[in-house]
Structure 1
Amino acid sequence: MWHMTLASTLPDARIHAYDPELQLAEDALRGVVGDATWTYPTPQPVVAAARLSLRAGPQPEAAQVTEALPGEALERLWGSGAGWVRVRTLHDSYLGWAREEGLVPPPEGEALTVTALRAHAFAGPKVSRSLVAELCLGARVVRVPGEVVVEGGRRWVPVALPGGAAAWVQEVTLSPIPEPDVAALALRFLEAPYVWGGRSAWGLDCSGLTQLVFRAFGRPLPRDADQQQAALESVDAPQRGDLAFFPGHVGLMLDDRRLVHANATHMRVTVETLGEGVYGRQLAAGCTGFGRWTA
């Protein structure tokens, strides 16, 4: 048996971890779900070893609900006993099931954030050396002792990848993004492939794109389109940088009519004009509102 203090509604299972079948719940839900027979495990801090798929269930065929980026901070909540673990992405509290081998202990040292849309880590400070990891905007590596190596005008930084493996990255992949313009950053993703649940330029979905570009400038957004709409201030007249919302979809406005979005219609990131063309008219008819970051 299990109970809730509010029997009419369940906590949002996207961000609140509980499992009536296993009688497990996160400690924050103690007294809200479950009873004396339930277990409330202590979360364990971990990070994603590489881009890590979080799925709706502990099965390889389950839908991907989100993706953790290399080095991104997570909580390990509990396991399924078959190599799958329930995890939470700490930056947005989103939950999913991931493979145990995709998790590593949090690193120690100075964290560096990748600012290139897509990048690679190399086995040595030279472009002809072998690739040892794929990186992306928002991924995190750790600076390790050692001098920056200059080779052919390129500056190479020694780093440790999540899990501790030694590698080298070009300094340019860590350079600050020049202008705090979410729309300009989103436009750099044009033609990136659409992937349900994806959060990187290797493949991403609509709310993954908007979350990623806002986060790059220290503006955290929730994971899903409906959560993002609830988090932003509603506005009637959109401007550059506002979000446009549709049933199950979100795009980022470039001005009062054009938007950039990752979409399954074109299976890539594209620009549309509301009200123009077949797709633009469809989007305009389905628009449920606009949201603006005001924090």
Structure 2
Amino acid sequence: MNYGICTLALVPLRLEQAHRSEMVSQVLFGELFEILDKQPDWTSIRLLETDYLGWIQNGQFVQLDEEEMQRYLDGKFHMVGRQGGLLINDTKQLALCHGTKLYLTDENVWHIAGDKLSYQGDINPYIRNQFKTEIAQLALAYKDTPYLWGGRSQWGIDCSGFSQLIYSCFDLSLPRDAYQQAEMGQTVDFISEIKVGDLAFFDNAEGRITHVGIMLDRDTIIHASAKVRIDRMDSEGIFNQELNRYSHRLRIIKRYV
């Protein structure tokens, strides 16, 4: 197999091999993927962590063999914290967004494919045992982040990208899309049993799950809809006070911790 690693801060993952094609997700710096089909300008990839498929533009990654990839993964794992960070050498300075995963040497150096850059910046401080006490505070730090279809960062995020990112900070891995996330976890049967960090899922008229948000308490949800916002939720769904109507119809609530 041939592998690749993203070498830019944040790049589009497209449905088809064209700039005008839908951005189905984004690839963060350091994310690893299997190369499925390499064309003159675009490469079809499968992200190793989530099995997500799409096309990335050539020039936005470097190709690795299995030995190089394993040597990289043998490094010391870090996740970039909420304040972001920089990778720096004498000729390059690369800003990294919150949630970027890095494997560094003991000297905090990112070293792959002949490139060496020192990391300077914030490190994600959370562990899984802090999920219940810290998830609300971290999620609230994203309030008013603009909505972006396929987005996965504080520079623009979609609903499932938001839940995936926040969960990842507590070493909890979720799939990319809302309907995939809804297939995991334990069902919470009653609104009264909701706990902080539970995910609420919402469907459309055809019954397809199209939206997800993070519960802050039994009747308050934070979710990405136009922007990351806080709304009231009940057994019917999300009530948007600005619109004075329900904006999303509740389908199911899931718990993962």
TM-based fold match above 0.5:
yes
Match of 1:95 among 53, 76, 79: 53
CA distance in 2, matches of 1:97, 1:145: 34
Work out whether 1:84 is the aligned partner of 2:49.
no
The residue that corresponds to 2:206 in the other structure is: none
CA distance in 2, matches of 1:253, 1:199: 19
Secondary structure of the corresponding residue to residue 145 of structure 2 = coil
The residue that corresponds to 2:215 in the other structure is: 253
Secondary structure of the corresponding residue to residue 223 of structure 1 = coil
Q: TM-score, normalised by structure 1?
A: 0.70
CA distance in 2, matches of 1:162, 1:182: 33
| Cα 1:281–1:163 shift into 2, 3 Å | farther
How big is the shift at 1:78? 0.9
CA distance in 2, matches of 1:280, 1:230: 31
The residue that corresponds to 1:143 in the other structure is: 104
Secondary structure of the corresponding residue to residue 189 of structure 1 = coil
| Cα 1:111–1:62 shift into 2, 3 Å | farther
| Counterpart mapping for 1:59-208 below 5 A | 59-79=18-38, 81-104=39-62, 105=64, 106=69, 108=72, 110-121=75-86, 123=88, 132-144=93-105, 146=107, 158-160=108-110, 164-170=114-120, 173-177=122-126, 179-180=130-131, 181-208=134-161
Retained in 2: the 8 A contact 1:118–1:134?
no
**Aligned residue identity for 2:250:** C
CA distance in 2, matches of 1:72, 1:63: 20
CA distance in 1, matches of 2:179, 2:200: 11
Secondary structure of the corresponding residue to residue 117 of structure 1 = strand
More strand by share: 2
Retained in 2: the 8 A contact 1:141–1:159?
no
How big is the shift at 1:83? 1.4
- For structure 1, which runs of at least 5 residues remain unmatched after alignment? 1-42, 147-157
Q: TM-score, normalised by structure 2?
A: 0.79
**Aligned residue identity for 1:233:** Q
How big is the shift at 1:61? 0.6
| Counterpart mapping for 1:210-229 below 5 A | 210-229=163-182
CA distance in 1, matches of 2:252, 2:170: 23
The residue that corresponds to 2:3 in the other structure is: 45
Retained in 1: the 8 A contact 2:80–2:101?
no
- For structure 2, which runs of at least 5 residues remain unmatched after alignment? 204-209, 234-238
* Higher-RCO chain (CA-CA 8 Å, sequence separation at least 6): 2
- The size of the alignment, in residue pairs, is 231
| Cα 1:140–1:276 shift into 2, 3 Å | closer
Retained in 2: the 8 A contact 1:58–1:98?
yes
Q: Percent identity?
A: 30
Q: Which moved more, 1:186-195 or 1:208-217?
A: 186-195
| Counterpart mapping for 1:19-30 below 5 A | none
How big is the shift at 1:169? 3.1
Match of 2:183 among 218, 226, 230: 230
Work out whether 1:273 is the aligned partner of 2:226.
no
The residue that corresponds to 2:246 in the other structure is: 282
CA distance in 2, matches of 1:123, 1:66: 26
The residue that corresponds to 1:16 in the other structure is: none
How big is the shift at 1:87? 0.6
CA distance in 2, matches of 1:194, 1:212: 14
| Cα 1:95–1:280 shift into 2, 3 Å | farther
How big is the shift at 1:54? 0.7
| Cα 1:245–1:161 shift into 2, 3 Å | farther
Retained in 2: the 8 A contact 1:47–1:162?
no
**Aligned residue identity for 1:117:** R
How large is the RMSD of aligned CA atoms in angstroms?
2.5
What are the superposed Cα offsets for residues 65-87 of structure 1, whole Å, 9 maximum, x if unpaired?
111111012111112x3311111
**Aligned residue identity for 2:211:** H
The residue that corresponds to 1:11 in the other structure is: none
How big is the shift at 1:144? 4.0
| Cα 1:169–1:216 shift into 2, 3 Å | same
